[in-house]
Amino acid sequence: MNCSLQETTSRFAGIHLCEQEAQLSDDVCTIHAVLETPRHITLLLYADVSLMARLAQNIMHQEVVTQRDIQDVAIEYFNVVCGRVAANMYRAARISSRFQTPKFFQGCYLPDGHPCSQCVLNFKGENMENVRLVCMAGQCSNNTSLTCEPA
Near another protein by CB under 8 A: residue from 73, 110, 133, 134: 73
In the set 63, 64, 91, 145, which binds another protein (CB under 8 A)? 91
* Residue 99 sits in the site that holds another protein (CB under 8 A): yes
Whether 56 and 70 have beta carbons less than 8 Å apart is answered as yes
Interacting residue with another protein among 2, 23, 100, 127 (CB under 8 A): 100
Q: How many residues does the chain have?
A: 151
Q: Does 86 bind another protein (CB under 8 A)?
A: yes
Of 45, 51, 59, 136, the one binding another protein by CB under 8 A: 59
Contact assessment for residue 113 and residue 140, using Cβ atoms and an 8 Å cutoff: yes
Distance CA 36, CA 16 (A): 29
Q: Which residues bind another protein (CB under 8 A)?
A: 8, 11-12, 59-60, 72-73, 75-76, 79-84, 86-87, 90-91, 96, 98-101
